[in-house]
Structure 1
Amino acid sequence: MALPGIGPSLLALLAEQAAALGITKVALVGGAVRDGLLHHVHRDPWRGCPDLDFVVEGDAVALAEALLLRVGSERMPRLQTHPAYGTAELEIDGLVLDLASARRESYPSPGANPLVMLGDLESDLDRRDFSINAMAMVLGESSMEAGLIDFHEGSQDLEFRELAFLHPRSVADDPTRVVRAARYAARLGFTLSSDALAQVARGVQDWPWTWRSGDPANAAPPALSTRFRMELELLFAKEPWSHALQFLEDWGAFPLLDPQLQNDPRRMLRLRRAARLGLPLLPALLLGAGAPLQVAERLQLPLQQIRWLEQVQEIFMWLGSDAMQAPELSWTPVDWTESLELQGWSAEAVALAVAGSERHWRPLLRWWGRWRHLTSPKSAKTLIAEGWRPGPQLGTELKRRRRQVLERSR
C-alpha cells in the first residue's frame, strides 16, 4: 500500500536491514495503516503524512543503529534511542519514524499506568485503543492483502465508520480512551459503535476507579489526571474541538472530568471567547466545573494556569459583590482600571474572566484590550529631561497624566 509522500524504497530499506539482522517481522502500525486504507479503499481525502510507527519483533534499537551505519548521517541526521524501553526515534529522508520492539501490557488496577513487557506483533496490536488503530502492514510482503494483519476486524469498522474498543474493559483500564474516541470521531467523521457507547456509559455510571471526584487530587490515577490532561490538550490543539466536545456531551462522558461539565450551557461561548483572546482552552473549559481549582490540580495543569483560575475566582467574587450589583453602576475607564490594577490580577486572569463572566465582561475586555496599555503621553525619561527629579513625585505625575488619558478613553 503506497502512502503519498512515503517512497516504497524506504519501506524496502527497513525490511532489508531487519532481515540482515535476523529480525523476522517489521510492521507499519496504527494511524498510517488506518489512513492509508481510508484513502485507498474508501476514497477518503489524504489527510497528510501520518505518524510512521513501526513495531519490530526483535531489537528496535539495534535496527535503528544499523540503519544509521548503512545510510550515513547525511541521509539520517537524527537518531534518539531509549534502550530501556526498546524504542528509537529517527529522521530519514526527511521523514520521522518511531521504531518500537513489540510489547504486551497489563493494567494492575483501573486507571493506572500499564505494566509493559516484551511480546510479539499480535500482543502489541492487542494493547491498542480501537480496532481501526490495531491493524498492521508487514513489510516485505508482495501485496497489501498479503501484508495486512487485522485481528480485531478494523477493516470492517473502517467500512462502517465506527470506533470500537478492543476489550470489554478498555474504558475501565484507561478512561483517556474516551477522549481519544472524541478526537478521532471529530477528525474522521466516525461514530462510536453501540458496544463502545454502552462501555462509556458503564464507565461513567459504575465508576470503577478507586478514586472519586472530591477525593484528594494527588491520589487520582494517571488516566484520570496527567494522561487525561494530555489527551484534552491534544483535542484542543489538533482536532475540530467544538465537534469533539459535542461528542463527549452526547456520549454522557463529561463526568469523567467533572459532573457539572455535562450540562454546561455556556461552554461553547466561554471557549470561543477564550480562543479569540488567545488563551489556553483547557482552563476556560474548567471554569464550568463544580470546583475548577480541584479539577485543575487533579489534572496537574501548569502552575501558572492554576494561578489564573485562582484569580478568576477572586474576580468573580468581586463582580458578584453587593457594590458591583447596583443597576446604576456607571464606572469610568479610570474606575475600572484603578480597581482592577489595585488587586494585582494578571492580564490573563482578567481575560479568562471575560471568557467566563456573565456580568460586566465588556469593561473587563476593554481593560484587557485597551485601557491597560494606555500610558502617560510623556515618559519618565522625557519628564526628567524637562526638569523632574526621579522619585515618588515623578511617579505621581506619570499616574496623573495617564489618568487624564484614561478619562478621554471609552
Structure 2
Amino acid sequence: MEIPDVPKPLLEALRQAAEGRRCALVGGVVRDLLLHRHHEDPWRGLPDLDLVVEGRAADFVARLADALATLFAVPVPLRVQEHGSFGTLELELDLPKEQGGTWLLDIASARHERYPQPAENPVVSLGALDDDLARRDFTVNAMALTLDGAELIDPHGGQRDLSARQLRFLHPHSVSDDPTRLLRAARYAARLGFDLAPDAQVQTHATLSAWPWQWRPGDDPGQAPPALGTRLRMELELLLSREPWRQALAALQRWGALVLLDPQLQADRQWRRRLHWAQRLQVPLLPALLAGARDPLALAERLQLPHRQHKLLAQMLELEHRLQSQPAEQPPSAWCQCLEAPGLSPEAVALLVARGTANGKPLLRWWLRWRHVRSPLTAAELMREEGLRPGPELGERLRQLRLTALDR
C-alpha cells in the first residue's frame, strides 16, 4: 500500500535505522490511510508520523541520524525531544524543500502496559510490536503498516470495524483501566463519524454504573487518580480545541460518559447554550462547560485547571453571589460600579452571561456597551478647564463624569 506524501528517501532512512528490527507506522496514520484507500474518506494529510520500534527508541534515533547523513547530499537538521519515561521521542526533521520540507515524527519504543489500579498510570516495560498494539484504545487504532507499505498488521480486527465505522475496545477492562478512552472515542466519533460498537456500549454502561474506581465524586479532589483528573482534563482540552465539540460532547452525553466529570453535567441540557455564548464572548470553553457542574470549583481542582481558568470560575461564582443583593432595576452607573468592583474581571461577567442568570440583560449590555463608555472630558481637559491636578481628586472627577454619561 503506497504511503502518500512521505518522501521515499525518508522511508529508506527509517528502514535503514530499523536494522532488521520490527518498525512500523501505527495509529491514526494507518487508520486514516485505510479509510482513504478503501472507504473513500477524504485524505486528511499527515501532520506527523507515529512509529513504533522494537528496542529502545533512542538507539533507533541515533541510527536514523547516520542514515539521513548518508542518504541526503546536504546535512539534515534533527531536533529531538524526549517525553517522560515511556520511551517516546519527538523528532523534527528539516529535509530539503524538494524532499518534503519539515517533518514531525513520534518514535516510540514498543512497550507492554499493566494497570496496577483502575484509572492509575500504567506500569510500562519494553515489549514487542504485538504488545504495543494490544495496549491501544480501539481496534481501528491497533493496526500497523510496515515502512515499505507491503504488510498490514491487524491482530484485533481493525479493518472489520473500519468498514462498520465503529469503535471497539480491545479488552473487557478497557474503560475501567483508562476512562479517558471514552473521551478519545467521542473525539473520533465527532471527527470521523464513528460510534461505539454494541459491545463497547455495554462495557461503557456497565463500568460507569459499577464505578470501579476507589475515588468517588465528593472525595478529596486532590486524591483523584490521573485518568479521572489531569489526564481527563488533557483529553477535554483536545476535544474542545481540535474537534467538532458539539458532536463530541453530545456523544459523551448519549453514552452516559459525562458522569465522569459530574452527574449534574450528565443531566445538563444547557451546555450547548453555555458553550455557544462562551464562544461568542471569547471565553475559554472548558470553564464554560464546568460552570454547569454541581461544584465547579471542586471539579476544577480535580482536573487541575490552569490557574487563570480556575480563578475565572471562582470570580464567576463570587459575582453570582454579589448579584443576589442587587436590585433588578437600577441605572447603568450602579451596574457598572457593581461589575467593575475590585476582584472581578470582564471575563467573569461574560462567563456568567454564558452560564445564564436572571440579570443576564444588564450584564450583556455592560459587556457590549457600558464598559466602553468613557468620561466626556479627558484628564488634560479637566486640568486645563477646572484647574485640577493629577491625583485622587482628578480620578474621582473622571469617574463621576463617566457615570453621569452612562445614565444619560
Q: TM-score, normalised by structure 2?
A: 0.92
| Alignment-derived partner of residue 105 in structure 1 | 113
| Alignment-derived partner of residue 342 in structure 1 | 341
1:7-406 equivalences under 5 Å are: 7-19=7-19, 23-72=20-69, 74-81=75-82, 85-92=86-93, 93=95, 94-140=102-148, 143=150, 147-321=151-325, 323-324=326-327, 329-342=328-341, 344-384=343-383, 387-406=387-406
Alpha-carbon contact 1:319-1:359 (below 8 Å) kept = no
Unaligned residue ranges in structure 2 (runs of 5+): 96-101
1:79 deviates by 2.4
Aligned partners of 1:13, 1:100: CA distance in 2, in Å?
17
Alpha-carbon contact 2:13-2:67 (below 8 Å) kept = no
Q: How many residues align?
A: 396
Alpha-carbon contact 1:61-1:83 (below 8 Å) kept = no
Q: CA RMSD in A?
A: 1.8
Q: Percent identity?
A: 53
Aligned partners of 2:295, 2:81: CA distance in 1, in Å?
42
Alpha-carbon contact 2:186-2:252 (below 8 Å) kept = yes
Aligned partners of 1:25, 1:88: CA distance in 2, in Å?
17
Letter in 2 for 1:101: S
1:302 deviates by 1.3
Alpha-carbon contact 2:278-2:350 (below 8 Å) kept = yes
Aligned partners of 2:4, 2:146: CA distance in 1, in Å?
18
Alpha-carbon contact 1:31-1:50 (below 8 Å) kept = no
Letter in 2 for 1:60: A
Aligned partners of 2:65, 2:186: CA distance in 1, in Å?
38
Alpha-carbon contact 1:186-1:244 (below 8 Å) kept = yes
| Corresponding residue SS for 1:91 | strand
Aligned partners of 2:344, 2:82: CA distance in 1, in Å?
45
Alpha-carbon contact 1:2-1:8 (below 8 Å) kept = no
1:347 deviates by 0.9
Q: TM-score, normalised by structure 1?
A: 0.92
Unaligned residue ranges in structure 1 (runs of 5+): none
Aligned partners of 1:11, 1:313: CA distance in 2, in Å?
55
Alpha-carbon contact 2:161-2:168 (below 8 Å) kept = yes
After the TM superposition, which of the residue ranges 365-374 and 277-286 deviates more from structure 2?
A: 365-374
Letter in 1 for 2:12: A
Aligned partners of 1:367, 1:5: CA distance in 2, in Å?
51
Aligned partners of 2:29, 2:110: CA distance in 1, in Å?
17
| Corresponding residue SS for 2:341 | helix
1:292 deviates by 1.1
